[in-house]
Chains A and B, each alone.
Chain A
């Protein structure tokens, strides 16, 4: 039950005069951002200058859910492979279920890395309680990265795709 590590969402630069980063202060600011639903926060005090900007449109700040303890059996959703290398918006799962890249086992994947998508483009299906839900991109751009594998269990808010906006 250790403390959370470095904040993983958005860009952030917090430097004290001594050059060391005050993680605790940044963590508290992130909470503030979340509570008040801010997309960007900039603070300058005599010993700390911070600018925080959220990646993506979703309300929750933490892109990476706490890793579940190493279960031997339950096929629980794996945490996303880490925040996007760059500060790219992500398409996040709106539900708990099983992620599929295509509409059927023999069908072509809806999207691959490098594909263009528009807001209406279907990027994947997520199956929940035997119902297959088509998930739309809801943004336009190019698929930069896919964070999850076919048939992987996903949870609410889990990043699925990174999209480079037009």
Chain B
């Protein structure tokens, strides 16, 4: 087992990894940029090293600085968290070539699954439907138009190197498609240094359901059930829950089985998530595979009782998964709300600023994952998520009631947050009856006066 791990991330996920290390008796070394100097979660690490100025390119995204820190601190392994370098295969390679273990999958698996086009090929091989679309990156705008006519509008243009809901454009006709391809290419080149885009049929009225998987280095892959992440705004998840209220037990079984087959075909070890879109008939299509721990992992931790970050570390250290598939429970119901520092009444404009007041909920069934506190200043340089409020109760009705209480207890001053939006969602009859789809949040927002 590792004796010292460097946490190559910031904020709530860095805190999450530090906590896992502490429970396992592993020393945690944090890194931080000047924007995060003084953050309280750094005090919980055994050591904290400043690696650069606020800009992510010179700090959290800077491989050289992170590796330097790992070397001066003499760590055995690096945990990349999510975002930043978590799915950067080159970073994983550099770590391992410096004799520092990268807590994540193999470089091969990352390359295979991180490339959305190649991932679709793997899915086809194990007989998982992928959304009708291009089997390779689009060669030209004519290529896109021809394909769109074959599969039928509406279609969505996506970046092959993208992920996390960024860089996607929906097109309903030839003109908007031509524009979408042109702009999509330019954006992808700028954001990911890879201008390849591909095309997919855009499924309207769909549900987004993903499966958590965990593989060890001895060939075992297990699933840890599903999470329903249908409630999104601009492809960013707002609310996640498990079990999914919108699928039958049979579909659940097939989804989880498909995820395991896919992970095995990719030789996957570590934590990962297979994301699917389901149409009205509960036919599911692979969306993408995320080769990292995800933001919404606490939902799965609550219903299964498994500490996913702990198991990421164990798997990376070479341990075999100790449980059998039949030992993985799905107990009760968990819901997570992602709270952002954004102004709901003003186009969700990000609201950096000082948290004069930050009172988080507690009590039975409530877990809050956050790095924020009274007096912390949220800077403009990183994403706007400030907390995840997770509830876990014996059933969905009770979980919703507890979430309603928890959101009412959540009080902030100094920045605007999306708590009011979540309160609206949780109280909405469609949400309560489980009748939502990926376009639901945006339709609900448009209806507001």
* B45 → chain A closest CB, angstroms: 7
B50 and A156 within 8 A (CB): yes
Q: Least Cβ distance of A113 to chain B in Å? A: 25
Contact B67 A157 (CB under 8 A): no
Chain A hits for B46, CB < 8 A: 68-69, 71, 74
Q: Are B48 and A62 in contact (CB under 8 A)?
A: no
The interface centre, meaning the residue of A68, A74, A129, A157 with most chain B CB atoms within 10 A of its CB, is: A74
What's the least CB distance linking A96 to chain B, in Å? 4
- Count chain B residues whose beta carbon lies closer than 8 angstroms to a beta carbon of A: 33
| Chain B, residue nearest A24 (CB) | B375
CB distance from A71 to the nearest CB of B (A): 5
Chain B minimum-CB-distance residue to A97: B68
Q: Is A43 an interface residue (CB 8 A)?
A: no
Q: Which residues of A contact B37 (CB under 8 A)?
A: 60, 62, 65-66
Q: Please report the C-alpha to C-alpha distance between residue A97 and residue B46 in the assembled complex, in whole angstroms.
A: 18
Asked whether, in the complex, the Cβ of B98 is within 8 Å of the Cβ of A153, the reply is no
Residues of A within 8 A of B27 (CB): 71, 73-74
- The yes or no answer to B51 lying at the interface (CB within 8 A) is yes
Q: Is the CB of A1 within 8 A of B40?
A: yes
Interface string of A35-64 (1 = CB under 8 A from B): 000000000000000000000000110100
Q: Is the CB of A129 within 8 A of B51?
A: no
Tell me if B110 is interfacial: C-beta within 8 Å of chain A. Answer: no
Tell yes or no: A85 within 8 A of B by CB: no
Contact with B43, one of A1, A62, A156 (Cβ below 8 angstroms): A1
Other-chain residue from A60, A66, A74 in contact with B4 (beta carbon distance below 8 A): A74
Q: Which residues of B contact A154 (CB under 8 A)?
A: 72
CA of A62 to CA of B301 in the docked complex: distance in angstroms?
A: 39
Given contacts A4-B38, A96-B65, contact A75 B43 (CB under 8 A): no
**Could you tell me the distance between the alpha carbons of A68 and B139 in the complex, rounded to whole angstroms?**
52
Query: Which A75-107 residues have C-beta < 8 A from chain B?
Result: 75-77, 95-98
A-side contacts of B377, CB under 8 Å: 31
Residue of B nearest to A128 (CB): B68
Task: Kindly state the separation between the CA atoms of A155 and B68 in the bound complex, as whole angstroms.
Answer: 9
- Indicate if B15 sits at the interface (CB-CB under 8 A): no
- Which chain B positions have C-beta within 8 A of A75? 72-74
- B29, B59, B65: which contacts A76 (Cβ < 8 A)? B29
A158 within 8 A of B: yes
Q: Which residues of A are found within 8 Å of B72, using beta-carbon distances?
A: 75-77, 96-98, 153-154
Name A59's contact: one of B34, B42, B49, B75 (CB within 8 Å).
B34
How far does the alpha carbon of A62 sit from the alpha carbon of B37 in the complex, in Å?
9
A76–B98 CB distance below 8 A: no
Q: Are A76 and B47 in contact (CB under 8 A)?
A: yes
Interface residue B309 (Cβ < 8 Å from any Cβ of A) = no
A60 to B50, CA, bound (A): 12
- A76 and B34 form a contact (CB under 8 A): no
- Over the window 346-371 of chain B, the binary record of Cβ atoms lying under 8 Å from chain A Cβ atoms (1 yes, 0 no) is 00000000100000000000000000
Q: How far is the CA of A154 from the CA of B3 in the complex (A)?
A: 22
Interchain CA distance A97-B51 in the complex, whole Å: 10
Contacts of B42 in A (CB 8 A): 66
Contact with A along B1-33 (1 / 0, CB 8 A): 001100000000000000000000001010000
A60 CA / B51 CA spacing, docked (Å): 13
Expressed in whole angstroms, the minimum distance between the Cβ of B378 and any Cβ of chain A is 12
- Cβ–Cβ < 8 Å partners of B45 in chain A: 68-69
Q: Which 8 residue pairs are nearest across A and B when measured between Cβ atoms?
A: A153-B72, A68-B47, A76-B47, A128-B68, A96-B68, A155-B50, A74-B73, A96-B69
Please name 25 pairs of A and B residues whose Cβ atoms are closer than 8 Å in the assembled complex, sorted by A. A1-B40, A4-B38, A31-B354, A66-B37, A69-B47, A71-B27, A73-B3, A74-B27, A74-B29, A74-B46, A75-B72, A76-B48, A76-B49, A96-B49, A96-B51, A96-B69, A97-B72, A98-B72, A128-B64, A153-B72, A154-B72, A155-B49, A155-B69, A156-B53, A156-B65
19 additional contacts (CB under 8 A) given A66-B38, A75-B73? A1-B40, A31-B354, A59-B34, A71-B27, A71-B47, A73-B3, A73-B27, A76-B48, A96-B50, A96-B52, A129-B67, A129-B68, A155-B50, A155-B51, A156-B52, A156-B53, A156-B59, A156-B65, A157-B34
